[in-house]
Amino acid sequence: MPEPRCTCLPALGLTLLMLVPTLIPTLAQAGVRDGDLVGHALVQDDGGLLIKGQTVRLGGIYLPETNRECRAWINPVRCGSRGALALDFRVKGFIHCFLAGENDDGSVNGTCYVDRSRFDPGEDLAAYLLERGLALALPNAPFEYQAMEKIARAQGQGVWGFMVDDVSQGIYAPGKGYRSHRPR
């Protein structure tokens, strides 16, 4: 007498296959609280992140205007300031932002992390830019951001390195009585 076969395995497999798409967003957003924004981000030309239709500005830093550069080796060609291009290079996968406040233009400020999970705190995107000398810490920024800017400046990183761009115009403008050391 032949053994009875279980016909429930194909139905179980089909049920699991239908559940997988609903579990992926849940797993990707593990540990998300109200006021957090998680999703794929597009880096805008000014260094803002567009996540789920909301523009997020990295809190505590300022991306100085630098000469526009273009990455012609990628398609489509991407042009922007050095800070925005570095941010675009680093932003891959899900971005997790802890929102801190809203701006007049409708954008929000936040501290954003890449590669964040339950087991890994991820990398702070503002710190990433500060360490490379591609951003300036604002006066009300956390102490860590201020220290990262000073270290990048001391090491001659990014905009603090050799004079490719002039970021001092309007931000750290020379005071009264300033004389350049250029020969006349």
Which CATH code, of 3.40.630.30, 2.40.50.90, 2.40.50.100, 3.40.50.150, is assigned to 31-156?
Answer: 2.40.50.90
The phi and psi torsions of 10 (rounded to 5 degrees) equal -60, -35
Average pLDDT over all residues of the chain: 77
Residues 75, 73: Cα–Cα separation, whole Å: 7
Structure tokens at 71: 């990455």
Q: What is the pLDDT of residue 24?
A: 44
Q: Please report, rounded to a whole number, the percentage of residues in the chain having pLDDT higher than 90.
A: 46
Q: What is the pLDDT of residue 144?
A: 97
The gap from C-alpha 118 to its chain's centroid, in whole angstroms, comes to 19
Other CB atoms within 10 A of residue 131 CB: 18
Collapsing DSSP states into helix, strand and coil, what is residue 133? coil
CA separation, residue 87 to residues 28, 32, 149, 174 (Å): 21, 23, 16, 30
pLDDT at 52 over 90: yes
8-state DSSP, 67: -
Comparison of pLDDT for 31 and 124, the residue scoring more: 124
Comparison of pLDDT for 23 and 79, the residue scoring more: 79
Q: What is the pLDDT of residue 3?
A: 64
Residue 79 has, within 13 A of its CA and on its CB side, a CA count of 4
Comparison of pLDDT for 10 and 45, the residue scoring more: 45
pLDDT at 11 over 80: no
79-101: pLDDT as tens digits: 778 888 899 999 988 899 999 98
The gap from C-alpha 179 to its chain's centroid, in whole angstroms, comes to 39
Residues 111, 100: Cα–Cα separation, whole Å: 8
Structure tokens at 9: 């395995």
Other CB atoms within 10 A of residue 112 CB: 28
Number of H helices and E strands in the chain, helices first, is 4, 10
Average pLDDT value for residue range 160-184: 47
Q: What is the pLDDT of residue 175?
A: 38
